[in-house]
Amino acid sequence: MQLRRITPQDWPWIQHWFEDERLNEELGPLDEAWLDHVLHATDGVQLVGVEDGAPAALVGCVWSPEPGGLHGITDIAVRPAVRGTGLGRRALAAVVGWDGHPPAAGWMAFVDHENDAAHAFFTALAWTYRGLDDEMHRFELMAA
């Protein structure tokens, strides 16, 4: 999977993806204020995962504010038509291995306490479960 930063030209297909009821419920709704924020963020990045020349995944990251801290995964969305085929796993592996992020001790992700699918996703990828943090499940992956 190839990664690139989000561009304004991505907005139409992102809007189309978020017409999917499940995706919109878990991560949406998105609006142009969100797009403007991710296009101009300096404390992280929104990455597009591309496979076979087409957008396959959208992953948000926020950089650790302190050296040696953990970067955060803020969201993972995959093309709804191919959900459940391993795209999320490939996208997350590509993001963690991407050479465009600042050095960090590892990664963390927060999962809504009612999002069983996301909980199972990070568990299956062997991210360490750290328990509930402000009513969100916290997972961590330390850098190799």
pTM to 2 decimal places: 0.92
When the pLDDT of each residue in the chain is averaged and rounded to a whole number, the result is: 93
Domain that holds residue 118: 2-142
3-state SS of the chain?
Answer: CEEEECCHHHHHHHHHHCCCHHHHHHHCCCCHHHHHHHHHCCCEEEEEEEECCEEEEEEEEECCCCCCCEEEEEEEEECHHHCCCCHHHHHHHHHHHCCCCCCCCEEEEEEECCCHHHHHHHHHCCCEEEEEECCEEEEEEECC
Mean pLDDT of 91-98: 96
CATH number at residue 19: 3.40.630.30
Q: How many domains does the chain have?
A: 1
pLDDT digits (tens, 9 = 90+) for 24-65: 788 878 889 999 999 999 999 999 999 999 999 999 999 999
* Percent of the chain's residues with pLDDT above 70: 100
